């Protein structure tokens, strides 16, 4: 097992300022991927809210098997959740996390970030953060328990030359640049608030805020899905968090997965 960093864990716990999400905290200088460590802890009954944090990842992963470049200067964390809502609602957790992330960015930097449905956060059209949600099941006391690990990667001071095309770091705009530990405290508190709303009232409680932060509506988009590629105008988010797109044929289609590119 990778070596934990007790000093960093202490700093992160202090930054939580009483929040329930973010503890217990497992912080490392370097791991393969915080997702792997969090999945292992989830299978060993780690409680809801547990956080795995790394200063660097050797094999950080993004969606669809992509690599997530993870040198020093970014936030790399995974949270273990044990949601009580139905299995069909669990994909909404990426949107819950995206909302918490844009609100933390706004709170700490004043920058107006936008959510690119379903998993990306953009500033000035460039990707500054990505979210990955992975569900798994554990047999516990005769019944199956579901856990979801949400991974959040945020480029804070990462050198732009280390990042892939289309990505950027908050430091390119944020003056002063927020300290990553302070950022974590704000992020986890925002997460706790949005997650609680979603747990208590479901997606409808967070939909208006997501619509406000969405950078897609009214824009022409290309969407790549397992069932094909589509072009059209993004119009809305439905009551389940699906993206509604008016296709060039005039038909409005609801997407529950997909990779979106803005056409202009």
Per-residue interface string for the shown chain with ligand BTN, residues 135-154, x marking contact by CB under 6 A = ----------------xxx-
Which CB sits closer to ligand BTN, 63 or 222?
A: 63
Q: How many residues bind ligand BTN (CB under 6 A)?
A: 21
Among 16, 132, 171, 187, binds ligand BTN (CB under 6 A): 132
Residues 201 and 31: their CA atoms lie apart, in Å, by 36
Task: Name, in order, each residue with C-beta under 8 angstroms of 7's C-beta and a sequence gap of 6 or more.
Answer: none
Q: Which stretch binds ligand BTN (CB under 6 A): 13-21, 53-61, 138-146, 209-217?
A: 53-61
Peptide bond before residue 118 is cis, with ω within 30 degrees of 0: yes
Q: Give me the residues paired with residue 234 across strands.
A: 245
At 126, phi and psi to the nearest 5?
-110, 145
73 binds ligand BTN (CB under 6 A): no
56 binds ligand BTN (CB under 6 A): no
Residues 124 and 145: their CA atoms lie apart, in Å, by 40
Per-residue interface string for the shown chain with ligand BTN, residues 12-41, x marking contact by CB under 6 A = ---------------------xxx------
Long-range contacts of 60-63 (CB under 8 A, 24+ apart): 60/33, 60/34, 60/153, 61/33, 61/35, 61/132, 61/151, 62/130, 62/132, 62/153, 63/119, 63/130, 63/132, 63/259
118 binds ligand BTN (CB under 6 A): no
Which CB sits closer to ligand BTN, 62 or 202?
A: 62
Q: Which residues in the 178-217 window bind ligand BTN by CB under 6 A?
A: none
CA 9 to chain centre: 21
Among 26, 61, 213, 260, binds ligand BTN (CB under 6 A): 61
- Shortest CB 40 distance to ligand BTN, Å: 13
Residues that bind ligand BTN (CB under 6 A): 33-35, 57, 60-63, 66, 68, 76-78, 119-120, 130-132, 151-153
């Amino acid at each position: 097992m990778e070596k934990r960093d007790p000093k960093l864990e202490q700093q992160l716990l202090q930054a939580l300022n009483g929040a329930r999400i973010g503890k217990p905290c497992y912080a490392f200088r370097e791991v393969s991927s915080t997702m792997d460590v969090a999945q292992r802890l989830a299978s060993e009954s780690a409680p809801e809210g547990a956080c795995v944090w790394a200063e660097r990842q050797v094999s950080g992963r993004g969606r669809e098997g992509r690599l997530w470049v993870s040198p020093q200067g970014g936030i790399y964390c995974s949270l273990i959740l044990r949601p009580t809502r139905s299995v069909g609602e669990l994909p909404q957790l990426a949107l819950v996390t995206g909302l918490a992330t844009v609100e933390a960015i706004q709170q700490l930097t004043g920058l107006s970030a936008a959510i690119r449905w379903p998993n990306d956060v953009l500033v000035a059209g460039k990707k500054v953060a990505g979210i990955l949600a992975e569900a798994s099941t554990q047999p516990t006391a005769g019944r199956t328990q579901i856990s979801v690990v949400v991974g959040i990667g945020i480029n804070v001071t990462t050198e732009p030359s280390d990042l892939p095309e289309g990505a950027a770091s908050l430091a390119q705009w944020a003056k002063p640049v927020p300290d990553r530990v302070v950022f974590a405290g704000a992020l986890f508190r925002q997460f706790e608030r949005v997650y609680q709303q979603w747990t208590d009232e479901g997606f409808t409680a967070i939909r208006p805020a997501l619509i406000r932060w969405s950078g897609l509506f009214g824009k022409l988009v290309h969407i790549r899905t397992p069932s094909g590629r589509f072009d059209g105008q993004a119009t809305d988010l439905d009551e389940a968090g699906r993206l509604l797109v008016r296709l060039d044929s005039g038909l409005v289609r609801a997407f529950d997965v997909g990779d979106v590119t803005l056409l202009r």
